Chains A and B, each alone.
Chain A
Amino acid sequence: MINIKKISKRKNVDYFLVALTIVIGFYLGWAVLKVALLTFVVWQILYPLPSKTLAKAIIFALLLFPALVITNFNNRSEDAGVLVFCLLVATLIMTIVEFVKLDKTSPIE
């Protein structure tokens, strides 16, 4: 008999969703970077990183971008550009989410 209790453990469901995302990405014929970005989006929904961490990641990716251009890794620099854009969108969304949460929890004057 299926043990619903065991299956429904949150972590198991989350890992299943992440695995499903990777399988769907590969099934659709996406490149590895695109599959990784989709998985990142799903992971961010499940276990959101704070906007501060994401902003730090943007700075790192922005530094990476010119370094790759200088070292002639043009394809990789394009990938870094895409990564910066995605992180920027994620940071913006997380900032709004955090702001709304803060607004709800702050005492009414």
Chain B
Amino acid sequence: MKKDRTTLFAIRKFACWNSGKYLLIFLLLLGVTLYGKNFKDEHSNQAYMHEINRLSSAEQGVYFMDQDMNELVLEEAISVSPNNGYRILFDAFVGADSAGNGMDDKINLSVSVKDRFGSQLPIKSYQLSVGEKKVSLEGVFASDDFYRDLVFTNNNENYNGVIRIENIRTFAISANTQAEIKDLKESIVGRTDFNKTLHSNWSDQAEHEYVFRRKQQKICQIFVANSDTISAVDLRLKFVGTGGIGNYYLELYGYNSSDESIFERLAFYSFDRARAIEQLLLDDVNNIYRIPMVANLTYGKQYMFCINNDKTEFNPLNTLIVLGQNKQFENNDIFTLVRGQHSNMDGSLLFKLYGAEFSDYEGGKIPTGAIIQDIGGGKGLYTYKQNGRFSDFLDISEIGGTENDNPGIFYDNSVNGIAGEDNKDTSIIYTFNTVYPFDKFSISADQPGGNYTDSKFYISFDKVNWQEVQMRVDIDSPKIVSNKFEIITSGDGKQNVIYIKIICDQESKTKKISELNAAKLFGIKNINVEAELRIK
């Protein structure tokens, strides 16, 4: 009884002690718990971010046929009318057979078009090797009816793998009879192979965890270039909690180990946890992410790629871990930089570096996704369309400037375009080899940063005489200038190369920015080239 009274007294005493203070702290912590989450993590916003990431994902328009599907029907994928000819182009990859069929096995994939009542017109059948790299396929047909659906059929019942179909494009052509179609030349397609491995320091077993614990920290891995182009890196990353708020940056620098000097940044790619999971995740079991890192390298020179948390707010419960192993990578160091302070670490990061192998035609490089096709009647069509991917950077044929080693031109994934700083007289040159001479062509392109970028756009047929292309002006209000460069013009029927050059506009209206000692910015994105060709 006495004990109970003592307890009661203790509780009463406790309740009386500064109860107002405790109530205030309780309300404060309640408010913080309910509303203190950064709005990036709010559910409504998450759905919005998910949609943005999905739309900007490179995986758009990718279709899978798994072992249970013999037929893939893409409804309303095309619009075909009678007495016309069409060409369909797509990429296909036949995955390895899970039932253990050998690599020599081939499968038969056929493509047809279907109308709304179910009648089909076969286009073509293809024999595809199982487990080999992605192939570009083409089918040409003359239509006898209105068709709207595209049908892919796997004719092998025993195949137990997944067929991936992507990048489907259809074109109307002039040839519209079987005889004319038979005479058409095969299309030339710019199929760049981004899966060529340059370096591999890989293991399924991660032995080491490199954790971001400090502010403005970089974790860097040195390597020696064994190719002149780099396109991406595979890393094993583990996000702890939210991974922190803000973006991590994967960066590429030139490096000299003899005096530990770091040269200017050659490439960067920003990502946070949401973007990494939506767009970069290859394997969620082993936490493998493929991050674009595009740059031109010099064979045999030392480089380093780093992940930094300069723009990230993090804490020990919400940070990033990069997985590694105890073994060193080809005598190349791994180190961490905290606000410029260099400290070596043991082991190496687990990574794979990828290059890029371009298609070429008679020695000329065909840009990624460019198509040169025979449309019949002695005419052809050249098409090239950028879609904001990292390959847009690799399609650049030349980066000019006084300091070519550090040109200050990047692929910037925040604007999905090519961005440059005008601090070294730099210029970006694209070369479009149409193979056949062109009669007419049109080129359009956007500025990546809208009014904050000051680009000048030129075209040339000989790389000597440059003609400036103006931005499109609103007809009703001529003072309103869009950020779109556009030109439609004619060739002389002999030339088959078009050059475009982008430089910084020194006299632009936003020159005030440079007066504030900030570098002027310029760049280009969404280049779209179409040319009518003369094919004899």
Q: B32–A13 contact, CB under 8 A?
A: no
With contacts A5-B7, A20-B29, A75-B216 known, is A29 near B41, CB below 8 A?
yes
Residue from A29, A35, A38, A46 whose CB has the most chain B CB atoms within 10 Å: A29
- Nearest A residue to B32, CB-CB: A24
- What is the size category of the interface that chain B forms with chain A? 20 to 34
Instruction: List, in ascending order, chain B residues with CB within 8 A of A31's CB.
Output: 245, 313-315
* Residues of A contacting B25 in the complex (Cβ-Cβ under 8 angstroms): 17, 21, 42, 45-46
Complex contact A26–B318 (CB within 8 A): yes
Which residues on the B side are within 8 Å of A45 (C-beta)?
Answer: 21, 24-25, 28
Q: Does B420 reach chain A (CB closer than 8 Å)?
A: no
Name A48's closest neighbour in chain B (CB-CB).
B21
Q: Which residues of B contact A4 (CB under 8 A)?
A: 7, 10-11, 14
Expressed in whole angstroms, the Cα–Cα distance for A17 and B22 within the complex equals 9
Q: Could you tell me if B317 and A29 are in contact, using CB atoms closer than 8 angstroms?
A: yes
Contact of A28 with B by CB under 8 A: yes
Q: Is A10 an interface residue (CB 8 A)?
A: yes
Cα distance, A34 to B215, chains bound together (Å): 14
Q: Evaluate whether A8 and B244 lie within 8 angstroms (CB atoms) in the complex, with A26-B316, A38-B32 already known.
A: no
Given the complex, which residues of B lie within 8 Å of A28, measured CB to CB? Answer: 32-33, 36-38
**B170 close to chain A: CB less than 8 A:** no
Q: Which residues of B contact A10 (CB under 8 A)?
A: 14, 17-18
When distances are taken between beta carbons in the complex, the residues of chain B under 8 Å from A24 are 29, 32-33, 36
Chain A residue with Cβ nearest B8: A4
* Chain B hits for A17, CB < 8 A: 22, 25, 29
Question: Does B13 interact with chain A (Cβ within 8 Å)?
Answer: yes
Q: Chain A residues near B244 (CB, 8 Å)?
A: 29
CA–CA, A75 and B217, complex, Å: 13
A29 touching B28, Cβ below 8 Å: no
In Å, the complex CA distance between A35 and B315 comes to: 9
Q: Are A30 and B14 in contact (CB under 8 A)?
A: no
Total contacting residues, chain A, CB less than 8 A: 25
Query: Does A13 contact B245, Cβ atoms closer than 8 Å?
Result: no
- Any A CB within 8 A of the CB of B241: yes
A57 contacts which chain B residues (CB < 8 A)?
Answer: none
Which residue from B11, B33, B41, B315 sits with its C-beta under 8 Å from A8? Answer: B11
Q: Is B489 an interface residue (CB 8 A)?
A: no
- Bound state CA distance, A75 and B308, in angstroms? 15
Contacts of B314 in A (CB 8 A): 31
In the complex the two chains form, is A27's CB within 8 Å of B317's CB?
yes
| A41 sits at the interface (CB 8 A) | yes
A2-36 interface mask toward B, CB cutoff 8 Å, 1 = contact, 0 = none?
A: 00110010100100010011001111111110110
Within 8 Å of chain A (Cβ to Cβ): is B287? no
Asked whether, in the complex, the Cβ of A26 is within 8 Å of the Cβ of B315, the reply is yes
Q: How far is the CB of B218 from chain A (nearest CB, A)?
A: 15
- One digit per residue, 1 when the CB lies within 8 angstroms of any chain A CB and 0 when it does not, for chain B 242-276 equals 10110000000000000000000000000000000
A-B contact pairs, 16 of them (CB 8 A): A8-B11, A10-B17, A13-B22, A20-B29, A21-B25, A24-B29, A24-B32, A24-B36, A26-B317, A26-B318, A29-B38, A29-B318, A30-B38, A35-B315, A42-B25, A46-B21
**Residues of B participating in the A interface, judged by any CB pair closer than 8 Å:** 6-7, 10-11, 13-14, 17-18, 21-22, 24-25, 28-29, 32-33, 36-38, 41, 215-216, 241-242, 244-245, 313-318
Interface residues of A (CB under 8 A from B): 4-5, 8, 10, 13, 17, 20-21, 24-32, 34-35, 38, 41-42, 45-46, 75
